[in-house]
Structure formats: C-alpha cells, structure tokens
Amino acid sequence: MKFDTPATNNPIDRLKVVGKPTDRIDGPRKTTGMAPYAYERHDVVPNQAYGFVLGAGIAKGRVNAMDTAAARRAPGVIAIVSTLDMPRLEKGQTNVAVLFGGPEIDHYHQAIAVVVAETFEQARDAAAMIRVDYARAKGRFDLAAEAAGAPLVGGDSEEGSGAPPEDRVGDFEGAFAAAPVKFDETYTTPDESHAAMEPHASIAAWEGEKLTVWTSNQMIAWGKRDLAKTLGLKPENVRIDSPFVGGGFGGKLFLRADAVLAALGAKAAGRPVKLALTRPLIANNTTHRPATIQRVRLGATRDGKITAIAHESTSGNLKDGKPETAVSQTKLLYAGANRLTAMRLAEMDLPEGNAMRAPGEAPGLMALEVAIDEMAEKLGMDPVEFRILNDTQVDPEHPERPFSQRQLVQCLRMGAERFAWANRNARPGTRREGRWLVGMGVAAGFRNNLLTKSAARVRLDSAGTVTVETDMTDIGTGSYTIIAQTAAEMMGVPLEKVVVKLGDSDFPASAGSGGQWGANNSTAGVYAACVKLREQVAQKLGFNSSEAEFVDGQVRAGNRSAPIAGAAGPDGMVAEDVIEYGDLAKRYQQSTFAGHFVEVGVDAMTGETRVRRMLAVCAAGRILNPKSARSQVIGAMTMGVGAALSEALEVDTRHGFFVNHDLAGYEVPVHADIPHQEVIFLDEVDPVSSPMKAKGVGELGLCGVGAAVANAIHNATGIRVRDYPIALDKLIERLPEPA
C-alpha cells in the first residue's frame, strides 16, 4: 500500500478497540515468567553448551600472542575460538566497531576470544586462564583534549535526527552582534550506557550451512542482514528469532558480539551455544551515548523575540563513526531569522558511540532548553511565555514547509495550568520547606516523526481467528497489544480472536523498534495487510469491498450480513502487504511535542536533589493505547531524571575504558527516586503521518526532561550547573547560607 495522500476516514477511526487503554496481552506471560527471553530458550534446540566472551585488556594496540593451552585443558571446555584464528570479520552495514577477528585492538573490551564449555562457570573460569601478550599503543580517550582539533562533520542518526557539518540561514554573526540581549554558554553531557535489564544474549545453532540465532535484538531485518554479511553467509541461510526483548533503548538496534561469537562458538563446538555478555562487556563492548560539548548562543530583542540562534556540538567516536546529532532539534524548535548549527567529530579510541534513546535530541535539549531558560531570565520573562512567544508553525529554515501538526503552545499552556506554574517564585533560591530548597522547572520536548516501510502478513482461519505475523519486536513497549488492537479494529473481531506473532525473520520485514517509529509504522503495515484481507473476504462472501463493514465478527453491507469465519474455508485465507510512503514527509515537517514540568527539592545542607513532581503534556498524533503509551512516557521521564542527576560513564583517560561498567557503579534511578508522574496526551490525530494518524511517544517522553530538572534545581537554589549530571558535589559548595 502506498501512502502518499493524507488519510481520510477509515476503519481505525471507529475506535472500538484502537485508542482504548488496553492491558498488554503479553502481560500475564511477563509477570508469571512464561515469556521466553533469548538466554532462556531451552526448548528451541537440545544439547546447548555455554559460551563466554573474553574482552581485550587494552584500549588500543594489538594482540601479539594468546596462550590458550591451560584453558583448553580446563574441565568441561569444548572449544576456544580466538581473534588470531581468523582475519578481521567484515563489518555489518550498521556496525562501526569491528566485532571480531585479527590482532588489531580498537577499543577496550573488544572481543578477542570465546570459550565454549559444558557449563557457564567452566567457560568463565577457562576464559580467565587465557594469557594474552599485548602491544599497547597510545590512544585518544579525552573528549575535552581532542575537541579543539575536531573537524566539522555532518551526520544522521537514521532515527530522524541529523544535520550537515555546518548549516546557516541568514546572517547569524551580524544579528547576534546587533542583538540588544545576548547569551553565550557551553554545556557538557557525559557518555551514557543503555543499562537495559536484559543483557545482550544469543543462542546459536547450525544445521549444515544454515544458522539460526535466538537473540535479543530490536531490528530483526537489520540483524539478519548484518549477521549474514559478517559471517559471509547467504542471507537466506540465516534466521533470527527474537519474540521478547527485555529492554534495548537503542543498544540492541545493531548486531553485536554476542550473536557473532555464539555462532562462531557453535560452529567450532559442533553443537548449539548460548552466550550472554557480562555487564562490563555491555558497557565497553557494545554501544553507548557519546559525550558532548555544546555551545549555545542566543540573541533577542528586549521584548523577547529571538533574532539569532546558534547551536554547536562536539562529540567523539571511533574511526568511521558518526557524531551525536545534538543540534538537530535546534533547527526546528524555535523561530528566528538568523541561524547557525554545526557539529564537530573527534576521532577517539573509546568504545563505539551510537544510538541511545532519542539520539541527538536527548542531549541536545539538555543544553538548548537550559539556554532558553537562562535567556528568559536575562530578559526578565517567564520561561513558559518566552517559549510561547518564539513558537513557529513552519520549518524556520524552510518557511514554505508547514508542520503537519504542532501543538507545543497547547502543551505548555495546559502543563503550566495543571502544574500550578503560577505558584512558582521567579526569584531563585527563595522557597524553603524546612531544610529543603524547592523549585520548579520547565522544558519543551521535541522529537521528529519518522516514516519507514513496514510489512505484515495476516491470516484468517475457519474459527474466525486472525493471526498477524511480522518481524516487529516488542522491547517492553506493548507492540503485541497495539498490533492486536489494529487487527481487531480492521477485521471487526474481538481482541481475544487475534493472535500476534513477532520477532522472527521468516516473517515479513517490519519497521522494527527504534527511533520512536515502531508503533505508527508497524501498525500501519498491519493496516495495509488487513485492507488486502478485507478485500479477499468481501469478494469471497459476495460483498462490494468498498461498502462492506467488518463489525462483531460479521461482514455487513446494506441489509446483508455474513460471519467473517465463513469466508476462510478449511484452508484459511492469507494476505500480505507493506506500507510505503510518498513525499508527504518532504511537504510537511512531521514532529512530536511535549511540555515537561518538574518540581525538585534540594537539601540546603547536603545538596542532595529529590524530584518531587513530574508532568508531561504530549502532542503525538493518535494515541493507539493510552495505557501502554503512558508507561512509555513515564519510563522515559525516569530515564531523564537519571541523565540529569546520576548517569555518567566515567572514562579512565589514561587507559581508555569506562570504569563504572556495571549496575553497581552506573547509577540509574530506582523506585525510591521517582515521585508521582502525570502524563497528559492532547487530543490529536495527524492524517499526514499514516493511515493510523498516529506518531510516537517513546522518546518524546525523554526529550527535555533533563533540562526541566536542571532548570528546577536552578530555581530552587540559584545555582546554574551546565555540566551533567548535576550530582551533589556540583552544588554543595555553592549552596546559599543556611537561614
């Protein structure tokens, strides 16, 4: 199905199933431990052995030699494959780091061996017996030291966030110099880890030249393609299966060492191998969000109109890597005739930097939305009103291109009313409750809506059951449920008559889970397949498909009706289609918006920050399932608190590795850190987006939260911290004197 004109009325608009706050249909399996995750697929193939990955103990250099003799003699050891046993494997299309092979070491904990044994403990112990002779080389591990010489480099996160090396509209320098009110500050954000609950894990089994991998992966089609390329296999000889994923946040978008080394280990051992990366390897061997150094300059008239806006960002990555696209949202979020964005990329020898939830916008808004608050303070304006004054309904760089929907002002107005923003004291450091300094903060949320083709297969059997097959993944987001809701709405059957099968590369290739594109595009693919199936059913039952209604298990037209099951026959019916998009995304800017509001208390004696209240008001097209969408947003809000207050991969700049590479040292928020969270979805449909008229919310809920926390801390204390995370050591010596 080609979607190239805005959607009109269609069966989804009935909203009998879609749009309802529906419990997740996979919930009972998750809560009872019956949902099979990758490492637990004991049933899929017998005689599984255990693999353990050994990571490099240096960050730059080469392996001179490896002594595996003692490890091979260890109890239970079946096989060992070392990086010296083969040349460098070819990189997959989405990989920056080489995953295995050859003597060269490009980053710390690069995989250099896999040990296969009868038990996990035997494999782990044998791996510790391998003796490695390294030739260490000098590496580049400090972004601040490398930033000055970093060249201008453009990039695209392939998740809707991107910018050229430098982009100019109007005369920024001239307008900035002439502006009556100017602002110029630099902000830093640290390297961050995805820290998903489920580790990267795979089970691999060979049958001749055919390889099956049961794994934890967000993008099945990408994984199949890149695993085949990396191992030199025909794509048709590779099958990936990932029906349940225990969190990914972008860290499982790409092929990683667990799948590759499970396959290599299984080939060497002559039997299936299961393998999970340890927490240190997840931090240093997989991917992370790169650190940034960001400069924001704003010029405005005395009445608050922005006349000049510039955002420049520097990040680092391995050779051939991309920059963190932190300036992307600044190209679209606020009006202003004179504009400059630029990105610089330092080549470094740290582990691979790549997509983490809302790549680009998440760290970019942590700088921009604090700068907006600082400028509002300079102007003596309320931060909400300053943002509203500089709203735009068109792409500021291409004014002929309107937003398909843009309700940012409504988000901010409703949020301010709901959060009692009028009670905020504009003078920082003046509200006290006992030993707590209390403040409120606001930030705009922004995330682009990305359209990508997605396919599905839909079956109807003689019992009237509709089965959906697509390689879409559920990473804890509720994909099973919204896909079932879509099929039930389209085919006019109750939800319990829909079966959803996901995550298998033998199914049609979907959008996959990433970039906030999963829900809208995967359900649009199911919509397309259901349109085809409806046509077949109507034709079989003798109805005009354009007039037929599918309701309550019946097909109706005029005064005739017939049960949908009657069309299936003993062999059933099947239809398959793909949603593909025309040029609507070029003609209209498609984005999602939020107003984030946060109240914090800061201990006047210790500098400890406690988040007290949080509110997100979101405008993101049709909300397919308000219950699971709310869960996505509050999870993202929690992630934003972590980014603001605690999360940072600490770099050992001497030896080039992340020191706090486990969940004991890498501090994410826990239940006790998170107070009441409220989420409001504006009533919105966007017919330009898809037949579903939906967008996405999974990353919008994160974008801007860190800045709202930072702005609340400033309002509470009068202290402005521009280097994240805002831990108490950055506050304690600057706190106001006790009253």
Q: Residue range 317-343: average pLDDT?
A: 98
What pLDDT is attached to residue 321? 97
- pLDDT tens for 571-593 read 999 999 999 999 999 999 999 99
Computed over every residue of the chain, the mean pLDDT equals: 97
What pLDDT is attached to residue 158? 82
Contact between residue 257 and residue 98 where contact means Cβ atoms under 8 Å apart: no
Q: Residue range 464-478: average pLDDT?
A: 98
What pLDDT is attached to residue 738? 72
Q: Using 50, 70 and 90 to split pLDDT, how confident is the model at 160?
A: confident
Q: Which residues contact 37 (CB under 8 A, 6 or more apart)?
A: 198, 201, 216, 244, 245, 246
Q: Residue range 33-53: average pLDDT?
A: 97
Q: Using 50, 70 and 90 to split pLDDT, how confident is the model at 27?
A: very high
- Active-site residue flag, 347: no
Q: Which residues contact 362 (CB under 8 A, 6 or more apart)?
A: 289, 356, 640, 643, 699, 702, 703, 706
Distance CA(527)–CA(3), nearest Å, equals 11
E strand or H helix at 665, and its extent? none
Q: Residue range 670-677: average pLDDT?
A: 94
Q: Residue range 397-419: average pLDDT?
A: 98
- pLDDT tens for 404-414 read 999 999 999 99
Q: How far is CA 726 from CA 189, 296, 514, 636, 718, in A?
A: 10, 19, 28, 18, 14
Distance CA(550)–CA(57), nearest Å, equals 62
pLDDT of residue 548 exceeding 70, the answer is yes
Q: Using 50, 70 and 90 to split pLDDT, how confident is the model at 379?
A: very high
- pLDDT tens for 268-286 read 999 999 999 999 999 999 9
Distance CA(633)–CA(700), nearest Å, equals 7
Pairing of strands 560-563, 554-557: antiparallel
Structure tokens at 397: 């760089």
Name the residue type at position 528: A
- pLDDT tens for 624-673 read 999 999 999 999 999 999 999 999 999 999 999 999 999 999 999 999 99
Distance CA(618)–CA(679), nearest Å, equals 8
- pLDDT tens for 424-445 read 999 999 999 999 999 999 999 9
- pLDDT tens for 310-327 read 999 999 999 999 999 999
Strands of 449-536, DSSP E: 454-460, 466-470, 498-502
| Secondary structure of 227-282 in HEC code, one letter for each residue | HHHHHCCCHHHEEEECCCCCCCCCCCCCCCHHHHHHHHHHHHHCCCEEEECCHHHH
Distance CA(684)–CA(82), nearest Å, equals 55
pLDDT of residue 150 exceeding 90, the answer is yes
Distance CA(561)–CA(203), nearest Å, equals 49
Contact between residue 190 and residue 353 where contact means Cβ atoms under 8 Å apart: no
Domains in the chain with CATH codes: 2-35+451-584 (3.30.365.10), 38-138+208-279 (3.90.1170.50), 401-449+590-739 (3.30.365.10)
* Residue 412 per-residue DSSP state: H
Question: Among residues 312, 650, 699, 737, which one is catalytic?
Answer: 699
Contact between residue 163 and residue 331 where contact means Cβ atoms under 8 Å apart: yes
Q: Residue range 132-139: average pLDDT?
A: 98
Q: How far is CA 669 from CA 628, 647, 663, 674, in A?
A: 20, 9, 11, 7
pLDDT of residue 739 exceeding 70, the answer is no
- pLDDT tens for 684-735 read 999 999 999 999 999 999 999 999 999 999 999 999 999 999 999 999 999 9
- pLDDT tens for 233-261 read 999 999 999 999 999 999 999 999 999 99
E strand or H helix at 582, and its extent? none
Share of the chain above pLDDT 70, in %: 100
